[in-house]
Amino acid sequence: MSLTRYGALLAKVLLLGLLLSALIWPDLSGIKGKASTARLIVYPLGGMILPLWWWAYGRTRSKLHRTFPWPADLLMTLPWLIDLIGNRLNLFDTVSWWDDAMHFILWGFLTAGVLLAFAPRDLSSAVTTFVALGFGTTAAVVWEVGEYVTFVRASPELQTAYTDTLGDLALGTLGALLAGLIVSRARRAPVT
């Protein structure tokens, strides 16, 4: 079993463990008052979307992969796990740069995973980058709308929400752009 497969499976186990602990001990989860119910629904779906797609469709008809795409799965699971860890350790509220770094890094991970899982390898670098921007920017907008609807509008964060949201959207888009550039370059590199 490859190291990437172990990493993806470990990330899923840790994600499910943190979600279960948030159900059992909501006051200790770090997500209380931060759309905890929505996170308890969306995060397991986010971590399982690729395995569910593979089980329902990809394993028999995928033109992209002959075997399960473990690197993509790991990259698509890490954003949910790292967000929960950051909330559990209260890093979003205590480390001034944490939220900005996470919007950049986690959108990059998610976008790279989606590209590896679903974008054909023969796309040009430009098209791969545009697909990354389209997915990453759309996902960032959906995330920010979700944050607003589920908890920002009724929290003290509402006072700074506009500026924070614009920054988050810009950082998520830049993370997606970087992911697109990295994936397109990696796909052009000769296999050794």
When pLDDT is cut at 50, 70 and 90, the band that residue 4 belongs to is very high
Over 80: is that where the pLDDT of 16 sits? yes
pTM of the prediction?
A: 0.89
Phi, psi (5° rounding) for residue 71? -60, -40
**pLDDT for 42:** 92
Q: Alpha helices, DSSP H only, in 62-160?
A: 70-88, 91-94, 98-118, 125-150
| Residues in Cβ contact with 148 at an 8 Å cutoff, skipping those fewer than 6 apart | 161, 165
Encode pLDDT of 89-111 as tens digits: 999 889 999 999 999 999 999 99
Q: Kindly state the DSSP code that residue 90 receives in the 8-state scheme.
A: T
**pLDDT for 62:** 64
> Residue 62 is encoded by which pair of tokens?
């995928």
Encode pLDDT of 137-173 as tens digits: 999 999 889 888 887 777 777 787 788 889 999 999 9
Specify the long-range contacts of residues 89-92, CB closer than 8 Å, at least 24 apart: 89/30, 90/30
| Residues in Cβ contact with 120 at an 8 Å cutoff, skipping those fewer than 6 apart | 63, 64
**pLDDT for 61:** 65
**pLDDT for 75:** 98
When pLDDT is cut at 50, 70 and 90, the band that residue 192 belongs to is low
Mean pLDDT of the chain: 89
